Structure 1
Amino acid sequence: MGKRKNVLFIMCDQLRYDYLSCAGHPTLSTPNIDSLAARGVRFTNCYVQSTVCGPSRMSAYTGRYMRSHGSTQNGIPLRVGEPTLGDHLREIDVRCALIGKTHMVADQEGMERLGIDPDSIIGVHVAQCGFEPYERDDGLHPSSDYDADPAYDAYLREHGFDADNPWEYWANSGEGDDGENFNGWLLTHADKAARIPEEHSETPYMTRRAMRFIEEAEAKGQNWCAHISYIKPHWPYIVPAPYHAMYSSADVKPPVRSEAERIHPHPVLKAFQAERFSVNFSRDEVREKVIPAYMGLIKQIDDQMGVLFKFLEERSLFEDTLIVFTSDHGDYLGDHWLGEKYMFHDVSVKVPMIVYDPSPKADATRGTVNDSLVEMIDMAPTFLEHLGGKAKPHVLEGRSVLPLVRGENPQNWRSFAVSEYDYAGERARLALDLPVSECRLFMITDGRFKLVTGPEVPPMLFDLAGDPDELVDRGRDPAMAYVVNRLRAALEHWMATPANRITVSDDWVTTSDEKFAHFDPLIEPGVLIGYWDEAELAEQQEARRHWMASKT
Structure 2
Amino acid sequence: MRIIYIDCDSLRPDHLGCYGYDRDTSPTIDTIAERGRRFTNVHASDVPCLPSRTALFTGRFGVHTGVVNHGGLNATVRPRGTARGFNTAFDGYQTWMSSLRHAGLHTALVSLFPQRHGAWHVVDGFDEWHDTHGYRADHVYPYAEEWLEANAESDDWYLHVNFWDPHTPYDTPSEYGDPFADESAPEWLTDEMIADQRESYGTMSARETGDDDLERTPEELTTREDFKQWADGYDTGIRYMDDYIGRIVEQLEDAGVRDETLFIVSGDHGENLGELNVYGDHQTADAVTSRVPLIMSGPEIEPGVDDSLRYQLDLPPTVTEYVGGEIPDHWDGRSFVDALNGVTDPDSDREFLVFSQGAWACQRGVRWDDWLLVRTYHDGFKDFAPVELYDLSADPHETTNLARENVDVAREGIALLEGWQSARLAESATGTAGGNPDAPRALTDPLVEVLEEGGPFHPRNDIDFDDLIHRLREAGDERHAKKLKIHEGFVPQDIDAYLTGENVWKHE
Change (3 A) 1:316 1:400: farther
Aligned to 1:98: 109
In structure 1, the residue corresponding to 2:45 is in which secondary structure? coil
CA contact (8 A) 1:244 1:293 kept: no
Read off the aligned partner of 1:230 and give its amino acid letter. F
Q: Which runs of 5+ in 1 are unaligned?
A: 108-124, 138-149, 153-166, 168-201, 427-438, 507-552
Q: Hey, what's the Cα distance between the residues in 2 that align with 1:290 and 1:400?
A: 38
How far is 1:290 from its partner? 3.4
Aligned to 2:339: 404
**The one of 255, 276, 279 aligned to 2:208:** 276
CA contact (8 A) 1:52 1:329 kept: yes
The answer to whether 1:347 aligns with 2:358 is no
Read off the aligned partner of 1:90 and give its amino acid letter. R
CA contact (8 A) 2:373 2:390 kept: yes
Read off the aligned partner of 1:135 and give its amino acid letter. H
The answer to whether 1:209 aligns with 2:143 is yes
The answer to whether 1:487 aligns with 2:413 is yes
Q: Hey, what's the Cα distance between the residues in 2 that align with 1:80 and 1:41?
A: 37
In structure 2, the residue corresponding to 1:248 is in which secondary structure? coil
Aligned to 1:254: 187
In structure 1, the residue corresponding to 2:13 is in which secondary structure? coil
How far is 1:348 from its partner? 2.4
CA contact (8 A) 1:255 1:334 kept: no
Q: Percent identity between the aligned chains?
A: 25
How far is 1:401 from its partner? 3.0
**The one of 343, 347, 356 aligned to 2:297:** 356
Matches within 5 A, 1:204-353: 204-218=138-152, 221=154, 223-248=156-181, 250-254=183-187, 256=189, 273=205, 276-277=208-209, 280=219, 282-284=221-223, 285-339=225-279, 340-353=281-294
**Most deviating of 324-333 and 74-83:** 74-83
Change (3 A) 1:264 1:333: closer
In structure 1, the residue corresponding to 2:283 is in which secondary structure? coil
Change (3 A) 1:465 1:235: closer
Q: Hey, what's the Cα distance between the residues in 1 that align with 2:222 and 2:94?
A: 44
CA RMSD of aligned residues (A): 3.3
Change (3 A) 1:471 1:402: same
CA contact (8 A) 1:6 1:387 kept: no
Q: Hey, what's the Cα distance between the residues in 2 that align with 1:51 and 1:505?
A: 20
CA contact (8 A) 1:96 1:225 kept: yes
The answer to whether 1:452 aligns with 2:371 is no
Q: Deviations over 1:385-427 (max 9, x none)?
A: 12211123x422122232212111102311112210115xx5x
In structure 2, the residue corresponding to 1:45 is in which secondary structure? strand
How far is 1:100 from its partner? 1.6
Aligned residues: 400
Change (3 A) 1:505 1:292: closer
Q: Which runs of 5+ in 2 are unaligned?
A: 81-92, 211-217, 379-384, 435-508
Matches within 5 A, 1:391-470: 391-392=327-328, 394-412=329-347, 413-423=349-359, 426=360, 440-455=362-377, 458-470=386-398
How far is 1:333 from its partner? 2.5
CA contact (8 A) 2:103 2:326 kept: no
Q: Deviations over 1:428-457 (max 9, x none)?
A: xxxxxxxxxxx6311111131111114486
Change (3 A) 1:242 1:369: farther
Q: Hey, what's the Cα distance between the residues in 1 that align with 2:149 and 2:206?
A: 49
**Most deviating of 320-329 and 279-288:** 279-288
In structure 2, the residue corresponding to 1:467 is in which secondary structure? coil
Q: Hey, what's the Cα distance between the residues in 1 that align with 2:195 and 2:334?
A: 39
In structure 1, the residue corresponding to 2:159 is in which secondary structure? strand
Q: Hey, what's the Cα distance between the residues in 2 that align with 1:292 and 1:483?
A: 37
How far is 1:488 from its partner? 2.1
Aligned to 1:122: none
In structure 2, the residue corresponding to 1:483 is in which secondary structure? helix
Q: Deviations over 1:93-143 (max 9, x none)?
A: 322221024356447xxxxxxxxxxxxxxxxx6473543453124xxxxxx
**Superposition TM-score, scaled by structure 2 size:** 0.70
Aligned to 2:76: 77
Give the structure with higher Rg (CA).
Answer: 1
Matches within 5 A, 1:8-23: 8-23=4-19
In structure 1, the residue corresponding to 2:130 is in which secondary structure? strand
Q: Hey, what's the Cα distance between the residues in 2 that align with 1:358 and 1:62?
A: 25
Change (3 A) 1:66 1:249: farther
The answer to whether 1:497 aligns with 2:423 is yes
Q: Hey, what's the Cα distance between the residues in 2 that align with 1:481 and 1:505?
A: 33
Q: Hey, what's the Cα distance between the residues in 1 that align with 2:323 and 2:270?
A: 29
Q: Hey, what's the Cα distance between the residues in 2 that align with 1:419 and 1:231?
A: 22
Change (3 A) 1:88 1:106: farther
Read off the aligned partner of 1:207 and give its amino acid letter. Y
Matches within 5 A, 1:125-136: 126=121, 128-136=123-131
How far is 1:355 from its partner? 1.2
Q: Deviations over 1:371-395 (max 9, x none)?
A: 1112211221122112211123x42
Q: Hey, what's the Cα distance between the residues in 1 that align with 2:288 and 2:220?
A: 14
